[in-house]
């Protein structure tokens, strides 16, 4: 029997991808790459890092990590750098044997509302990476899923959002019950908690990893705002009401910790928009567009919690998020990392990382 361990369980390593796509990271991706390197540095303090880079940028990536130990650089092509969503989801059995799951990836919605028109390289990453590591994998195609749309507690419970998993661009021929059964079978979970919504304007159809995450069995953080006029408020309020009425696979009521979103919305500026170069069929950004900023998009490493920091007028919000997570994770170092440039691509620290369990 295989199960998906919780992210806060021990890791063998983390998987990431070198960012170069002009429609996500700009015509000059240097600022985003610098932010990624800060994440690499934090990860390799306590675990290995597998970094994928396409053939044209392999030497660039090699130079960027030359000062780091524990980095395994692999030449592998991709459409973008969202390792959470395109990498394999790893499950483990009672003997400690790992295998990957290669979900079908269609750029967050395929021809219905996908974010780019060509995703074939991304869809091939999971199986190719497992093969590179000499690990077995299951091909879950044609079932469409992204790693950012699931969280587990390692004890039989999964978190998802209805807005994402029931979206028309994922598995429209399957009922909610059929989708849930597939998750239980693949992930080794016994209960799926269906939050109604995610983060406002999250272009993934509101992945759960941006709005709610386990920090311990029976314990979650929920993105929150007290500002009732903020468009996030009704989404988080609906999730809170649901979570307050739910129990996990062990029959426990959930302990819910509110993790406030940035006090000041982060908007895409005209300068930001001018920096992109979009391909035909790619989702574009508009000046004034609100980005889906959330501190819930943190990542557990073996020794730390890596927390997005947005800076500027949100410095106080940044500090508050780190303080809350430090109280919830006293045995880990909380590391705040500059993440505005990662957010600009459409996600954050959790979206660009994928854990490989020990």
Give me the pLDDT at residue 214, please. Answer: 98
Give me the pLDDT at residue 176, please. Answer: 98
Give me the pLDDT at residue 120, please. Answer: 98
Q: Are 321 and 260 in contact (CB under 8 A)?
A: yes
Q: CA-CA distances (angstroms) from residue 313 to 266, 317, 343?
A: 10, 8, 16
Looking at the domain that runs over 11-357, which CATH code has it been given? 3.75.10.10
Active-site residue, 351 included:
yes
> Residue 229 is inside which H or E element, if any?
none
Tally of CA atoms within 13 A in the half-sphere of 63 that contains its CB = 5
Prior bond of 142 cis (ω within 30°): yes
* Token output for 199: 């983060």
Report the chain's C-alpha Rg in angstroms.
Answer: 19
Residue 23: count other Cβ atoms within 10 Å of its Cβ: 20
Beta strands 333-338; 304-309: pairing state: parallel
DSSP assignments along 234-297, one per residue? HHHHHHHHHHHH-B-TTSPBPEEEEEEPPSS--B--HHHHHH--PPTT-----TTPBP---TT-
Closest CA to 295 of 179, 215, 217: 215
Give me the pLDDT at residue 105, please. Answer: 98
Greatest alpha-carbon span in the chain: 54
| Tens of each residue's pLDDT in the chain, 358 residues | 999 999 999 999 999 999 999 999 999 999 999 999 999 999 999 999 999 999 999 999 999 999 999 999 999 999 999 999 999 999 999 999 999 999 999 999 999 999 999 999 999 999 999 999 999 999 999 999 999 999 999 999 999 999 999 999 999 999 999 999 999 999 999 999 999 999 999 999 999 999 999 999 999 999 999 999 999 999 999 999 999 999 999 999 999 999 999 999 999 999 999 999 999 999 999 999 999 999 999 999 999 999 999 999 999 999 999 999 999 999 999 999 999 999 999 999 999 999 999 9
* Token output for 302: 């073996």
Closest CA to 335 of 324, 322, 346, 352: 322
Dihedral angle at the C-alpha atoms of 104, 118, 277, 306, nearest 10 degrees? Answer: 10
Closest CA to 77 of 90, 67, 86: 86
Q: Domain residues of the chain, as ranges?
A: 11-357
How far is 263 from 224, CA to CA, in rounded Å?
10
Q: Are 155 and 248 in contact (CB under 8 A)?
A: yes
Candidates 130, 164, 322, 351; catalytic one:
351
């Amino acid at each position: 029997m295989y199960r998906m361990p919780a992210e806060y369980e021990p890791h063998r390593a983390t998987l990431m991808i070198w960012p170069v796509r002009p429609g996500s990271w700009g015509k000059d991706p240097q600022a985003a790459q610098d932010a990624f390197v800060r994440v690499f540095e934090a990860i390799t303090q306590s675990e290995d890092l597998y970094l994928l880079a396409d053939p044209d940028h392999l030497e660039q990536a090699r130079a960027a990590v030359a000062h780091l130990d524990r980095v395994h650089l692999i030449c592998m092509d991709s459409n973008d750098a969202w390792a959470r969503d395109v990498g394999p989801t790893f499950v483990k059995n009672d003997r400690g044997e790992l295998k990957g799951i290669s979900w079908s990836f269609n750029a967050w919605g395929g021809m219905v509302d996908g974010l780019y028109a060509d995703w074939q390289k991304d869809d091939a990453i999971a199986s190719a990476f497992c093969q590179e590591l000499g690990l077995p994998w299951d091909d879950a195609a044609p079932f469409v899923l992204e790693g950012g749309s699931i969280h587990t507690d390692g004890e039989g419970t999964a978190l998802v959002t209805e807005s994402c998993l029931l979206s028309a661009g994922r598995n429209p021929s399957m009922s909610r019950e059929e989708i849930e059964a597939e998750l239980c079978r693949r992930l080794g979970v016994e209960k799926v908690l269906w939050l109604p919504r995610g983060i406002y304007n999250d272009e993934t159809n509101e992945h759960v990893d941006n709005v709610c995450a386990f920090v311990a069995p029976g314990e979650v953080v929920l993105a929150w705002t007290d500002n009732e006029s903020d468009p996030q408020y009704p989404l988080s309020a609906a999730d809170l009401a649901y979570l307050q009425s739910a129990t996990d696979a062990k029959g426990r009521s959930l302990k819910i910790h509110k993790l406030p979103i940035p006090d000041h919305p982060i908007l895409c500026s005209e300068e930001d928009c001018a920096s992109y170069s979009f391909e035909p069929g790619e989702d574009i950004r508009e000046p004034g567009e609100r980005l889906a900023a959330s501190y819930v998009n943190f990542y557990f490493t073996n020794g730390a919690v890596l927390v997005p920091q947005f800076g500027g007028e949100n410095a106080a919000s940044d500090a508050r998020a780190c303080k809350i997570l430090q109280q919830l994770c006293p045995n880990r170092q909380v590391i705040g990392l500059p993440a505005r440039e990662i957010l600009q691509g459409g996600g954050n620290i959790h979206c660009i990382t994928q854990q490989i369990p020990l």
